[in-house]
Chains A and B, each alone.
Chain A
Amino acid sequence: AQSVTQLGSHVSVSEGALVLLRCNYSSSVPPYLFWYVQYPNQGLQLLLKYTSAATLVKGINGFEAEFKKSETSFHLTKPSAHMSDAAEYFCAVRVYSGSARQLTFGSGTQLTVLP
């Protein structure tokens, strides 16, 4: 079965510091991986996705993620945090089940940006 695990339910960084949100996956087939962001009282927005092309994926708002097969990881990074980055972030893996392709989500990481 395919799954993702997000390490750290809460992460705090200072404004201007590096953001690193961790995601490890488990999959017996080449995975398709996603990062989503959820701002308060809103739905989820796609940040970036890995679909077996380039291992370094660039997304919106300056975020990027690197697929590392040897470490089964897909960590999300941003060089310099902004106050507006405060949100909850979800890693997800696409699974094949029955008649549909579904997304299975991690439990989320709440990012706090300190002034």
Chain B
Amino acid sequence: NAGVTQTPKFQVLKTGQSMTLQCAQDMNHNSMYWYRQDPGMGLRLIYYSASEGTTDKGEVPNGYNVSRLNKREFSLRLESAAPSQTSVYFCASSEFGGQVVYGYTFGSGTRLTVV
């Protein structure tokens, strides 16, 4: 099925380890986003990429880096994982441009635990 694919689905890291969360979309969307979801806090934007070649910080960027590898792929890297980064991470994509408003298409999430 067309959509947003995230890998891995589950991951356990030790404090200080690094890892990269992968995200790919096949809908030819211009914009891509990384959110984290924590209980009672909804979804908070970590980083986004309005179009290929651009990335910007969101609400909670500290401790993360991103790479927009091409139009399809947008990865999120944790350089030195901390227990506070235990969360569920969602990647999303959307169209961009014009006056038409689109929603987001979300991946199924990566559940990360840092011990």
A9 on the interface (CB 8 Å rule)? yes
Would you call B108 and A102 a contact (CB within 8 A)? no
Evaluate contact between B56 and A99: CB separation under 8 angstroms.
yes
Interface size class of B (residues with CB under 8 A): 20 to 34
Whether B42 contacts A108 by the Cβ 8 Å rule is yes
The main secondary structure of chain A at its interface with chain B is strand
Whether A101 pairs with B31 at a CB distance below 8 angstroms is: yes
- The answer to whether residues A105 and B106 also contact, given A49-B101, A94-B101 and a CB cut-off of 8 A, is no
With beta carbons under 8 angstroms apart, the residue of A36, A49, A102 that contacts B45 is A102
Partner of A98, one of B56, B100, B104: B56
B58 at the interface (CB under 8 A from A): yes
A106 partner residues in chain B, CB cutoff 8 A: 42
Give the interface segment out of A13-21, A40-48, A61-69.
A40-48
Nearest A residue (CB) for B103: A46
B62 contacts the other chain (Cβ, under 8 Å)? no
- B90 on interface, CB distance cutoff 8 Å: yes
A55 in contact (CB, < 8 A): no
Interface size class for chain A?
20 to 34
Decide if B50 touches A99 in the complex (CB within 8 Å): yes
Chain B CB within 8 A of A74 CB: no
- For the complex, give the distance between the alpha carbons of A45 and B42 in Å: 14
* Residues of chain A at the chain B interface (Cβ within 8 Å): 9, 32, 34, 36, 41-46, 49, 51, 90, 94, 98-108
Which residues of B are interface residues toward A (Cβ below 8 A)?
Answer: 4, 31, 33, 35, 40-45, 48-51, 54, 56, 58, 90, 92, 94, 96, 100-101, 103-109
- Known A99-B56, A105-B44, A108-B42; further 7 A-B contacts with Cβ < 8 A: A36-B106, A46-B104, A90-B42, A90-B43, A99-B51, A100-B31, A102-B48
